[in-house]
Amino acid sequence: MKRIIFVVLLIFSSTIFLTSSFGNKIDALEYYRFDADERKTEYIDNFTHMRINGRLTLGEITTEQYYNFLDLGINQKEKIHLVSVNGFKNNGYGMMGLNSMIEVYEQENPNIEVLGGFNGDFYAINDTGEPSNLHIVDYEVVYRGRVNNSVVLAVKTDGSSSFKEVKYEGNEILVLNIDGEIKKRVKVDYINQRPNNSEDVTILFDNYKDEIDSVYEKIIVEGIDIKQALGQTSNNNNSKYYQFAKGKVKKANTTKVETNNFVVVSKELKEIVEEGDTIIFQAKVKDFEDVRYAVGTYYNYSLIVNGEITIRETGSMGTARHPRTAIGIKENGEVFVVVVDGRDIINGRAGVNYLELANIMKTHGAVQAYNFDGGGSSTLMLGNSRNYSVLNQLSDKRIRSISNGFLIVKGDIGTKAIEINTPDTREENKTPEGFYIDQRNYLHFDHVEGNDYYDVNIDGKSYLTADNKFSLNFLTEPGEYKIRVKSRGTKTKMASLYSNEMIFKVNTKEIENILKILKNISISNLK
């Protein structure tokens, strides 16, 4: 629920310097200042939002500007997180507006509240919607990037964020059990090549047309999401054609790779996999094991590095004025985003170049800052899919379909998958007990000592919660819902069995009204 604590509106007739001192010196020729005509500050949920307009002067050039500043207020103790999202579809890519990304996220995570969001990476706007740079969602490298000079805003398990340069170390395969725990993580030796033996790890996709010798230890995987690489062709067993794959192990034996399947040849993995395990093939990124979410930009699109304005881009991308989206990190680790309006000079929205944008970012305390996709892609929103506001002026006059971005959300998003030994010798965790549903439609159960997370399974879909209570208010469609709960695994205990099934019934509005009337009559009779 959006909470506006207070609003401060200041209109100045005199000059307002947003820099720490007048004439912040950039070099021997350039001086910067911002004369604000209006600055509006509001505090919404954990956000600090400022809307500023006035005249920006850099050197001898003055332009009229409008921009929005949003301090994201990320706080894991209050369960406020920064998560990456995209417009992808299974077995491909795609584009959608940020408002649609919010709606999809809410549908997939109805127990988590969306507070706002903003756009992310550059992308193939006239093609598949494939982003330009590395993209990670919930530890999965769903896109490895198509350039070699990437920097990402990386969000780690503990919620902290940093800009990280991307360096690849080949590819890897992860084997996950039905509880999402990692049974094995191995380096891939060969892709779409005839296996030398079963000791190496080889992965074969459906564009591999040769037969697979029956002597090899094979794992047949039914694809859930297999993504191609932009600009690659499928012929000649092209090993670069696929760059991400996820699927379920199935019982089968084949000498050919079926469409939308993939095959892993490995004696080591064959010995530990079970039917129903999940297999993930992805790029291995150096020192990214603890990165949960990432959205990228180009290395050359730096604005501030180690506290100093650092403009690497010398072409028109950096010198022309456009609407811009930039992300900054303060000395204390706080993350903020600035979105500058543009392409509307008549109404005082000239847009900025990189040097002007860098000065704005430094004014607001950034010690690290990068430019992300801008122009018509620049989008900054607060609220959820049912009640949202776009803070910036959209230069396309509509919300543009984009490839990816970030959302600020509130709730339990779970934690990093545990890596376990195989065979698994942990003792079984205790199944929760003491279930009841209160009048506010909260499911309650007894806490299991030493347990961090619970799996609330509703009609076959699992939701994670760190609390021993769980709101069922997102279940709005009339009908009966089957609910089971189990304790998640820890480093010392494997996941418990599910509890006995319970039924939660959602009545139609008509029945609810009748029940309220009957309840009121009963109360009146008691009086």
pLDDT at 516: 76
pLDDT for the residue 46:
87
Q: Note whether 352 and 342 are within 8 A (CB).
A: yes
Residue pLDDT, tens place only, 152-178: 999 999 999 999 999 999 999 999 999
Q: How many helices (H) and strands (E) does the chain have?
A: 5, 37
Q: 412 in a domain, yes or no? A: no
Residue (of 391, 408, 425, 445) closest to 494 by Cα position: 425
Check which CATH number belongs to the domain holding 455 and give it: 2.60.40.10
d(CA 327, CA 153): 8
Range of the domain at 254: 172-285
User: Which residues lie closer than 8 Å to 266 by C-beta, 6 or more apart?
Assistant: 173, 186, 198, 200, 201, 202, 217, 219
Separation CA 336–CA 423 (nearest Å)? 45
Q: 262, 285, 308: which is the final residue of a domain?
A: 285
The domain boundary, picked from 236, 253, 285, lies at 285
Please give the Cα distance from 117 to 97 (Å, whole number): 11
Residue where a domain stops, chosen among 256, 285, 314: 285
Instruction: Report the pLDDT value the prediction gives residue 148, as an integer from 0 to 100.
Output: 84
Ranges assigned E (strand) in 192-240: 202-205, 218-228
pLDDT in tens, 7-59: 444 433 334 344 433 234 444 347 999 999 999 999 988 899 999 999 999 99
52/458 Cα distance (integer angstroms): 46
The burial class, CB within 10 Å (0-12 / 13-18 / 19+), for 189 is middle
Tokens describing residue 266: 């490995």
Q: What is the 3-state secondary structure (H, E, C) of 15-32?
A: CCCCCCCCCEECCCCCEE
Residue of 418, 437, 407, 415 lying closest to 504 (CA atoms):
437
Q: Are strands 366-372 and 168-176 parallel, antiparallel or unpaired?
A: unpaired
Flag whether 490 is in a domain.
yes
Question: How far is 514 from 350, CA to CA, in rounded Å?
Answer: 59
**CB-CB contact of 372 with 327 (8 Å):** yes
For residue 368, what are the CA distances in angstroms to 49, 53, 126? Answer: 20, 24, 31
d(CA 18, CA 397): 29
pTM, two decimals, is 0.93
* Residue at 232 is within a domain: yes
Residues of the chain with pLDDT under 50: 1-29
445 found inside a domain: yes
Closest C-alpha among 65, 53, 56 to residue 11:
53
Mention every residue, 6+ apart, whose C-beta is less than 8 A from residue 160: 333
Q: Specify if 101 maps to a domain.
A: no
- Residue 524's pLDDT is 65
Which secondary structure element, helix H or strand E, spans residue 317, and what is its range? helix 316-319
Q: Note the pLDDT of residue 468.
A: 97
**Domain assignment of residue 236, yes or no:** yes
What is the predicted pLDDT for the residue at 147?
84
pLDDT at 158: 96
Of the CA atoms within 13 Å of residue 393, those in its CB half-sphere come to 20
Phi-psi region of 106 (alpha: psi -120 to 50; beta: other; left: phi over 0): alpha
Map tokens 């954990």 to a residue.
46
Number of domains in the chain: 2
CB 253 within 8 A of CB 265: no
Q: What is the spatial distance between Cα 326 and Cα 140, in angstroms, rounded to a whole number? A: 24
User: Is 89 contained in some domain?
Assistant: no
Rg, C-alpha atoms of the chain? 26
Cα angle 60, 67, 310 (rounded to 5 degrees) comes to: 60
Closest listed residue to residue 504, CA positions, set 476, 473, 482:
482
Could you please report the per-residue DSSP string of 116-176? EEEE---B-TTTT--BSS-EEETTEEEE--S-SSEEEEEEETTS-EEEEE--EEEEEEEEE
In a domain, 123, yes or no: no
